[in-house]
C-alpha cells in the first residue's frame, strides 16, 4: 500500500490511509496539511467528529423516512444522501473558519456557523429521540388515537343531531298527534264500558245496560276509532319517509366515521410521533429531561468542530494556508496589474497611430 510521506528537518512522517481519510473529513487542504505533521492529530480529531456526525445524520434521516414511507430501501437511500449532505456541510463550516485575524473577528465569523451547527444538531437529534423513546411514543400514540376517535364520535353526534333534527322533530310531532287520537279513543272506550256496567260518574248515567247513553258513547267511540285510523293512514307514508331519511343520515355518518377511524388507526407518521414525544415531555419531567440531554448531546457534537477550531491556537497549518492564499492573491494582483499595463500600452500605441 502506498503511503504519503512528509519530510520535515530530516524526519520522515507517514500518513496512514485512515488518518488521511480523517484529514479529508476535517476539510483541511491535504497538500498543505502534509507539510505540518504536528497538526495531523488535531485535524484528524476534527475529521472524526465530522464523520460521526454524518453517520448519526444518516441513521436519523433513514429512521425519519422509514416512519413516513415504510420502505426500508428508500429510507436507506435517503439517509445516505442526507448524511453526505450533512458531511459536506460540516466540512465546509469547519474549513471556512480561518484562524488569522483578531480574536473578535474570529468570534464574529463563527457565530453564524455556530447557529447553523446548532440547528443541524436539533434536526439530527429529533428522529433519534423518537427511536430511543419508541415504546413510550407508541403508547402515547395509542392514547392520541383513542382521544381523536372520541372527539370524532362527539363531532359525529353533533352532526347527527344537526342533520336529522328536522326529521326527528316532525316525527315526534306526528307521534304525539297519534298518541292524542289514541288517548281520545281509549277514553271513549272506558266511558262506554262504565256506562254499560252502570258505574256512576260525571259522564255516565249510572244505569246498567246498553241504553241511549251507551249507544251515544258507542257512536263516539267508533268515531274516535275512525279518526285515529284515518290519521294513521294519512301519516303512514310520511313516517316511512322520515324514518328513511333519519336512517340515511345515520348510515352516511357511520360510513364516514368508519372511514375516518381507519385513517386514525394509521396515525403513526413522523409528525404524529413528534406530537406524541412532545406530549410525553409535558406529562413526564424525566422524559423531558432525557430528551433535552439527548438534544444537547447532538448539539454539542455538531458545534464541537467549530469550537475546537475556534479555541485552538494558531498552528503551522494556519500560517501555511494563509501564506498560500496570500501568494495566490499577490499572483492574481500581479497578473491584473500586468494586464492593465499592457492594455494601457496598446491604447496609447493606438492613439499615437491615430495622431500620425
Mapping DSSP onto H, E and C, the string for 125-181 reads HHHHHHHHCHHHHHHHHHHHHHHHHHHHHHHHHHHHHHHHHHHHHHHHHHHHHHHHH
Same domain, 300 and 236: no
Same domain, 72 and 181: no
Per-residue model confidence (pLDDT) at position 149: 79
Per-residue model confidence (pLDDT) at position 7: 45
Interatomic CA distance for residues 277 and 129, integer angstroms: 8
Per-residue model confidence (pLDDT) at position 187: 85
Interatomic CA distance for residues 124 and 311, integer angstroms: 25
Whether residue 10 has pLDDT greater than 50: no
What's the whole-number mean pLDDT along residues 51-65?
87
Angle between helices 103-132 and 40-69 (to 10 degrees): 40
The answer to whether residue 279 sits within a structural domain is: no
- What confidence category does residue 331 fall into, taking pLDDT thresholds of 50, 70 and 90? confident
Q: What would the pLDDT profile of 258-274 be if each residue is shown by its tens digit?
A: 777 666 666 677 788 88
Same domain, 49 and 71: yes
The answer to whether residue 232 sits within a structural domain is: yes
Q: How many residues does the chain have?
A: 356
Largest CA distance in the chain: 158
Angle between helices 134-197 and 103-132 (to 10 degrees): 50
Same domain, 265 and 153: yes
What's the gap between Cα 34 and its chain centre? 47
Q: Which three cell numbers stand for residue 79?
A: 439517509
Same domain, 153 and 261: yes
DSSP structure class, residue 204: B
Same domain, 257 and 211: yes
Contact 3, 16 (CB under 8 A): yes
Same domain, 145 and 66: no
DSSP structure class, residue 313: P
Classify 1 as helix, strand or coil: coil
Same domain, 123 and 10: yes
- What confidence category does residue 208 fall into, taking pLDDT thresholds of 50, 70 and 90? low
The answer to whether residue 334 sits within a structural domain is: no
Domain range spanning residue 184? 140-271
Looking at the chain, the number of H-run helices and the number of E-run strands are: 10, 2
Q: What angle (nearest 5°) sits at the alpha carbon of residue 271, between those of residues 265 and 275?
A: 85
Max avg pLDDT among 194-198, 240-244, 339-343: 240-244
Q: Which three cell numbers stand for residue 212?
A: 241511549
Percentage of the chain beyond pLDDT 70 is 87
The answer to whether residue 190 sits within a structural domain is: yes
Same domain, 191 and 305: no
Give the end of a domain, one of 271, 300, 329. Answer: 271
Classify 13 as helix, strand or coil: strand
Whether residue 8 has pLDDT greater than 50: no
Whether residue 11 has pLDDT greater than 50: no
Supply the pTM of this predicted model: 0.56
Interatomic CA distance for residues 149 and 140, integer angstroms: 14
Dihedral pair phi/psi, residue 8, rounded to 5°: -125, 120
The answer to whether residue 325 sits within a structural domain is: no
The answer to whether residue 192 sits within a structural domain is: yes
Same domain, 102 and 40: yes
The answer to whether residue 245 sits within a structural domain is: yes
In the chain, how many domains are there?
A: 2
Same domain, 98 and 154: no
Q: What would the pLDDT profile of 138-162 be if each residue is shown by its tens digit?
A: 898 888 888 887 887 787 778 777 8
Whether residue 200 has pLDDT greater than 80: no
| 7 strand-pairing partners | 12
Same domain, 254 and 315: no
Burial (CB < 10 A; 0-12, 13-18, 19+), residue 192, is buried
Burial (CB < 10 A; 0-12, 13-18, 19+), residue 315, is middle
The answer to whether residue 87 sits within a structural domain is: yes
Whether residue 100 has pLDDT greater than 80: no
Per-residue model confidence (pLDDT) at position 2: 47
Amino acid at each position: 500500500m502506498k503511503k504519503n510521506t512528509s519530510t520535515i528537518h530530516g524526519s520522515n512522517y507517514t500518513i496512514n490511509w485512515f488518518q488521511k481519510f480523517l484529514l479529508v473529513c476535517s476539510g483541511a487542504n491535504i497538500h498543505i496539511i502534509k507539510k505540518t505533521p504536528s497538526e495531523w492529530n488535531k485535524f484528524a480529531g476534527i475529521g472524526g467528529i465530522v464523520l460521526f456526525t454524518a453517520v448519526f445524520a444518516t441513521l436519523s434521516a433513514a429512521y425519519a423516512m422509514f416512519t413516513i414511507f415504510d420502505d426500508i430501501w428508500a429510507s436507506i437511500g435517503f439517509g445516505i444522501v442526507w448524511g453526505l449532505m450533512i458531511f459536506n456541510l460540516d466540512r465546509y463550516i469547519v474549513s471556512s473558519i480561518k484562524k488569522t485575524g483578531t480574536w473578535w473577528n474570529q468570534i464574529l465569523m463563527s457565530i453564524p456557523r455556530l447557529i447553523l451547527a446548532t440547528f443541524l444538531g436539533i434536526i439530527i437529534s429529533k428522529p433519534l429521540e423518537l427511536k430511543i423513546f419508541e415504546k413510550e411514543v407508541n403508547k402515547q400514540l395509542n392514547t392520541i388515537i383513542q382521544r381523536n376517535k372520541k372527539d370524532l364520535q362527539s363531532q359525529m353526534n353533533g352532526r347527527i343531531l344537526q342533520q336529522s333534527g328536522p326529521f326527528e322533530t316532525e316525527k315526534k310531532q306526528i307521534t304525539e298527534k297519534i298518541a292524542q287520537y289514541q288517548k281520545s279513543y281509549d277514553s271513549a272506550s272506558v266511558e262506554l264500558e262504565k256506562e254499560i256496567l252502570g258505574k256512576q260518574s260525571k259522564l255516565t248515567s249510572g244505569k246498567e245496560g246498553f241504553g241511549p247513553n251507551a249507544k251515544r258513547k258507542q257512536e263516539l267511540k267508533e268515531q274516535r276509532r275512525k279518526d285515529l285510523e284515518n290519521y294513521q293512514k294519512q301519516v303512514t307514508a310520511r313516517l316511512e319517509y322520515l324514518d328513511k331519511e333519519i336512517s340515511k343520515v345515520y348510515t352516511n355518518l357511520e360510513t364516514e366515521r368508519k372511514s375516518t377511524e381507519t385513517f386514525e388507526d394509521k396515525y403513526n407518521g413522523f409528525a404524529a410521533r413528534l406530537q406524541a414525544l412532545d406530549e410525553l415531555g409535558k406529562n413526564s419531567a424525566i422524559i423531558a429531561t432525557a430528551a433535552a440531554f439527548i438534544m444537547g448531546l447532538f448539539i454539542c457534537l455538531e458545534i464541537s468542530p467549530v469550537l475546537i477550531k475556534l479555541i485552538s491556537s494558531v498552528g503551522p497549518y494556519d500560517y501555511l494556508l494563509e501564506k498560500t492564499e496570500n501568494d495566490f492573491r499577490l499572483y492574481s494582483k500581479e497578473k491584473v496589474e500586468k494586464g492593465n499595463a499592457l492594455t494601457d500600452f496598446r491604447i496609447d500605441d493606438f492613439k499615437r497611430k491615430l495622431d500620425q
